[in-house]
Amino acid sequence: MFKIIQKTIATGIVTTKYPGEPAQISEQFRGRPSFDFEKWKDARPATEVCPTGAISVCDEGGSRRVTVDYGLCVFCGLCAEASADQAVRITQEFELASADRRNLVLTAEYSLNTDRTHRELRAVHQRLGDLEEDVESVGQKARKNIQKLLKRSLAIRQVDAGSCNGCELEIVALNNPVYDLERFGIQFVASPRHADMLLVTGPVTRNMELALLKTYQAMPEPKVVVAVGACGISGGIFGKNYASLGGVDNVVPVDVYIPGCPPRPQALLHGILLAVGRLGERLYDDRRG
Amino acid sequence: MTQAMSAFFEALRQKFGAQIQSISTDREDEVYLLVGDSDIRALAEYLRSEFDARLVTVFAEDRRSAESVFFNYYVFERKGDTRYLIVRAPVHADHPEFPSLSAGLPAVNWQEREIQDWFGLKAVGHPNPRRVAMHDNWPDVHPLRKDFPLGTVLPPFEGERHIYRPALGEGVFQVPVGPVHAGTIEPGHFNFAVAGEPILYLQLRMFYTHKGTEKLFEKLPIQKAVFLAESISGDSSFSHGTAFCQAIERAAQMEVPLRALIMRTILLELERICNHVADIGAIANDVGFVVANAHASRLKEMLVSLNEQLTGNRLLRGMVCVGGVRRGWDAVQLVALRAAIEVFASEFQDLVALIDSSESTRDRLEQTGVLRPEKAKDLGIVGVVGRASGVDLDVRRDHPYAAYGRYSFRVPVYQVGDVTHRMQVRGDEVRESLGIIRGAADESLHGDFRAQVPPIPADRCALSAVEGWRGEIIHWIRTGPDNHLERCKIKDPSLNNWPALVEAVQGNIIADFPVINKSFNLSYSGTDR
């Protein structure tokens, strides 16, 4: 016993201050690839190397539409290496969670030269509304919501609907002393009947479809569903095939999407806190009838 | 070929001359033996009894369009021989059957049934020929046949998923658990037959996370498939990624720069340490020693941060590539590596001492979940679980790859086979890994870290093996035209080891199942693919 206490005292507090303070992460970390559409002379090299088709082009006559889907991105960094013009840059941004799947998609339209490189940028469509929401305010709002609506506790039921277990490792890490999810009054529970939130990793396999549906149905209202990682959002590298149904929202309605492969614990935390806000909206809607 | 080696083949030729059609070696450590028919029972028995050869894995390939037959592949290895012997046996399309080896070699029980499910080749004489890889409610399809498109939309499933054997008797109950479990773990179904608290019999239903991975490998260009390999089992991202890249490099017959080999070795060992320390904590946690788990998960977090600093990803993803690694390390990264390893080494000692000092923890783990050495050998158990039960196998030593030939390390083997010893093997291996990393980090890490990949010719076969932190990972590929693969077989050590869990839990109380399961810590995704 003495040894245990001695070691605990010697170790001290290791818990991160995030989201109260910015996350301490390595400068090597590969976060969101950002695109300088003005500067981008050719999207095709990035498209060719992207392992999941997160970057795609559609040429029509003399024009091109480039689509970037963060919901498919595995953050490998190949697009930046392939784009000689340095228009694609890997940033350290990881707070990418969004309540709207469409917010994770950017498109840019170009007119083309005869060699099919970009001549002129015509338009950029992006709705990165949630992406820009300040994480600190998300955290503060969530804390308020948890206190007010849930009597200081949010219960999460996690379901692996077919993942490679990478996302599970990061979800488990949320409970380690460094991220310590319980400091927000958030806990993982053993039964969906005790849960307010369903945290699902994917892709959803044919064999897990029924189990996921039953787990969702077993949860009391109001409830929110969070899809974790590229596979949970879109099927990721697995996509849809004879054994995989792709993203979680093909089986149950999803309230918040957390990109990553896997999302780092802070990104999960950010997404969960964002979803808590959604839970508040649900409760309000329910009461109004 | 040395004399001892040729003597081995001479003996084979003399005994099975009529059956053996050719012996070929593309690479020194990979020998293909083409036989005339699908019945290799006598050959397998001879290899086992005369040479103590171990059947590493069994898999099939649909070669109907090129050679008008299916082929079964039986990969053997022998003690003290760095070569893999691969027996290639045809199975005729109009008579899709092959004699099963499972009755005498229970190690291939599941793998032969996979061939039945995925290729529609019947394993005649199999003691339990029920479906394993596809649940009973699947329609009658064979997804790895070439005429089955990856994107096939199967009709809605009907009927029972799986019929469990009833356990009857006074006071006997069956307890179904899963596929959604109480904790944050992967899905699988366990059906326990219990009499009071002790477990009489455990039935497993796996393959809930089957997502068509092997079929998908046939669709992706090779460079993109590296990322799929990293997603076979997330906790073994680097091991599977390396196994895959090695297979391609072997098929392309290319050299990988030494600097890359050393860096791969360091990262493979980091992955091992990360997972071992987390498992040690989780085992303690499952018997109520929460503080130990808090320290272990803190140490794991430290290493995961180091992973990120070395590769840009906490799971070491996006680092390995065909031809080497994608980035070199600068002085800052190397200093961080050395420093983190030393801090970890001293903290790890504290953790082990902390667990050792807890008598109640030791009491719960000793003689819990025993897997006897003879059972382990029969069932073909590999890796950590095998080494705790007397199975002296380690790919790093037996078939050196990456830069393992340059460092000396000990392979811990125990005979007791209980949870304590599965934990002990992990602890010993962490210390050995630290030694390997120290040795490797002291080498001069200069020069190329990535070789130019030549055009990869079609129709080359290659086998690659890696000792992942769980155990032996095998990738076998056949290249196709245009930088694609014709076939990619993945064998995760979990596939070997699940049946051992059934043995280990018998007679234990059901409340000890979580800790026994944790001491195995098998990958569901790696099994199901």
Domain residue limits at A264: 133-288
Whole-number pLDDT of residue A277: 78
Residue in A with minimal Cα distance to B274? A169
Retrieve residue B15's tokens: 């005994």
Which segments within B145-286 are labelled E, that is strand?
172-177, 189-195, 199-205
Domain count across chain A: 2
A255 within a domain of the structure (yes/no): yes
Containing H/E element for A212?
helix A209-218
Cβ–Cβ gap B237/A191 under 8 Å: no
Do A267 and A149 lie in one domain? The reply is: yes
Whole-number pLDDT of residue A91: 94
Please report the residues numbered 152 through 181 in chain A whose beta carbons come closer than 8 angstroms to any beta carbon of chain B: 158-173, 175-178
Whole-number pLDDT of residue A4: 87
Q: Is A205 exposed, middle or buried (0-12, 13-18, 19+ CB in 10 A)?
A: buried
**CB crowding B502-528: b at 16 or more within 10 Å, else e:** bbbbeebebebbbbbbbbbbbbbbbbb
Whole-number pLDDT of residue A24: 87
In the predicted model, is pLDDT for residue B397 greater than 60?
Answer: yes
CATH numbers and ranges of domains, chain B: 3-124 (3.30.460.80), 172-205 (no CATH), 234-494 (1.10.645.10)
Phi, psi of B105 (to 5 degrees): -130, 80
Containing H/E element for A69?
strand A63-69
- Residue B511 DSSP code: G
A2 within a domain of the structure (yes/no): no
Do A278 and A236 lie in one domain? The reply is: yes
Residue in A with minimal Cα distance to B162? A207
End-to-end CA distance of chain B: 37
User: A8 and chain B: CB distance < 8 Å anywhere?
Assistant: yes
At A80 the three-state DSSP class reads helix
Do A265 and A209 lie in one domain? The reply is: yes
Cβ–Cβ gap A178/B301 under 8 Å: yes
How many helices (DSSP H) and strands (DSSP E) are in chain A?
Answer: 8, 13
Task: Name which of A30, A166, A177 is nearest B298 (Cβ-Cβ).
Answer: A177
Q: For B174-182, which contacts have Cβ atoms below 8 Å and span 24 or more sequence positions?
A: B175/B510, B179/A208, B179/A211, B179/B205, B179/B208, B180/A159, B180/A192, B180/A211, B180/A215, B182/A190, B182/A191
Q: B484 and B460 in contact (C-beta within 8 Å)?
A: no
Whole-number pLDDT of residue A287: 55
- Residue A205 DSSP code: B
Count Cβ–Cβ pairs < 8 Å, chain A vs chain B: 185
A9 within a domain of the structure (yes/no): no
In whole angstroms, how large is the CA radius of gyration of chain B?
A: 23
Q: Please give the average per-residue pLDDT across B36-49, as a whole number.
A: 91
- Which residues of chain A make contact with B483, given a CB cutoff of 8 A? none
Q: What is the mean pLDDT of chain B?
A: 94
Phi, psi of B170 (to 5 degrees): -65, 125
Do A263 and A177 lie in one domain? The reply is: yes
User: A204 and chain B: CB distance < 8 Å anywhere?
Assistant: no
Task: Name which of B187, B207, B232 is nearest A160 (Cβ-Cβ).
Answer: B187
Do A107 and A171 lie in one domain? The reply is: no
Do A53 and A189 lie in one domain? The reply is: no
Q: A152 and A185 in contact (C-beta within 8 Å)?
A: yes
Retrieve residue A197's tokens: 């939130």
Task: State pLDDT tens for residues B435-469.
Answer: 999 999 999 888 899 999 999 999 999 999 999 99
A181 within a domain of the structure (yes/no): yes
Boundary residue ending a domain (A130, A148, A181): A130
Task: State pLDDT tens for residues B209-263.
Answer: 999 999 999 999 999 999 999 999 999 999 999 999 999 999 999 999 999 999 9
Determine which of B181, B209, B469 to mutate to test the interface with A (most A C-beta atoms within 10 Å): B209
Residue in A with minimal Cα distance to B212? A243
A212 within a domain of the structure (yes/no): yes
Task: State pLDDT tens for residues B168-217.
Answer: 888 999 999 989 988 888 999 999 999 999 999 999 999 999 999 999 99
Whole-number pLDDT of residue A289: 47
Do A268 and A159 lie in one domain? The reply is: yes
Query: Residue A135 half-sphere exposure, CB side, CA atoms within 13 Å?
Result: 20
Residue in A with minimal Cα distance to B137? A207
Which regions of chain A are under pLDDT 70?
A: 128-139, 142-143, 145-152, 280-289
Strand order in the sheet with A197-201: A186-188, A154-160, A197-201, A224-228, A256-258
Residue in A with minimal Cα distance to B353? A3
Name the residue among B280, B279, B281, B299 with its Cα closest to residue B290: B281
A22 within a domain of the structure (yes/no): no
User: A15 and chain B: CB distance < 8 Å anywhere?
Assistant: no
Do A169 and A246 lie in one domain? The reply is: yes
Task: Name which of A3, A188, A238 is nearest B354 (Cβ-Cβ).
Answer: A3
Whole-number Å distance between alpha carbons of B233 and B201: 28
Cβ–Cβ gap A165/B235 under 8 Å: yes
Name the residue among B253, B267, B223 with its Cα closest to residue B445: B267
In whole angstroms, how large is the CA radius of gyration of chain A?
A: 21
Do A150 and A275 lie in one domain? The reply is: yes
Whole-number Å distance between alpha carbons of B396 and A198: 41
Do A257 and A138 lie in one domain? The reply is: yes
Task: Name which of A26, A76, A211 is nearest B180 (Cβ-Cβ).
Answer: A211
A23 within a domain of the structure (yes/no): no
CATH number of the domain enclosing A232: 3.40.50.12280
The residues pairing with A228 across neighbouring beta strands, listed in sequence order, are: A201, A258
Please report the residues numbered 60 through 89 in chain A whose beta carbons come closer than 8 angstroms to any beta carbon of chain B: 74-78
In the predicted model, is pLDDT for residue B5 greater than 90?
Answer: no
Q: A239 and A197 in contact (C-beta within 8 Å)?
A: no
B80 falls in which pLDDT band (50, 70, 90)? Answer: confident
Q: B311 and B318 in contact (C-beta within 8 Å)?
A: yes
Picking from B20-34, B71-85, B379-393, which range would have the lowest pLDDT averaged per residue?
B20-34
- Which residues of chain B make contact with A166, given a CB cutoff of 8 A? 231, 234-235, 237, 315, 317
Distances in Å between the Cα of A194 and the Cα atoms of A153, A154, A155, A216, B140 are 11, 10, 7, 12, 39
| Shortest CA gap A287–chain B (Å) | 31
Determine which of B138, B157, B211 to mutate to test the interface with A (most A C-beta atoms within 10 Å): B211
Cβ–Cβ gap A160/B298 under 8 Å: no
In the predicted model, is pLDDT for residue B325 greater than 90?
Answer: yes
- Which residues of chain A make contact with B312, given a CB cutoff of 8 A? 26, 28-30, 77
Task: Name which of B212, B298, B300 is nearest A241 (Cβ-Cβ).
Answer: B212
A260 within a domain of the structure (yes/no): yes
Task: State pLDDT tens for residues A70-94.
Answer: 999 999 999 999 988 889 999 999 9
Whole-number Å distance between alpha carbons of B353 and A262: 33
Q: Which amino acid would we find at residue B118?
A: W
What pTM value is reported for the model? 0.95
Whole-number Å distance between alpha carbons of B389 and B182: 29
Do A159 and A267 lie in one domain? The reply is: yes
Do A74 and A114 lie in one domain? The reply is: yes
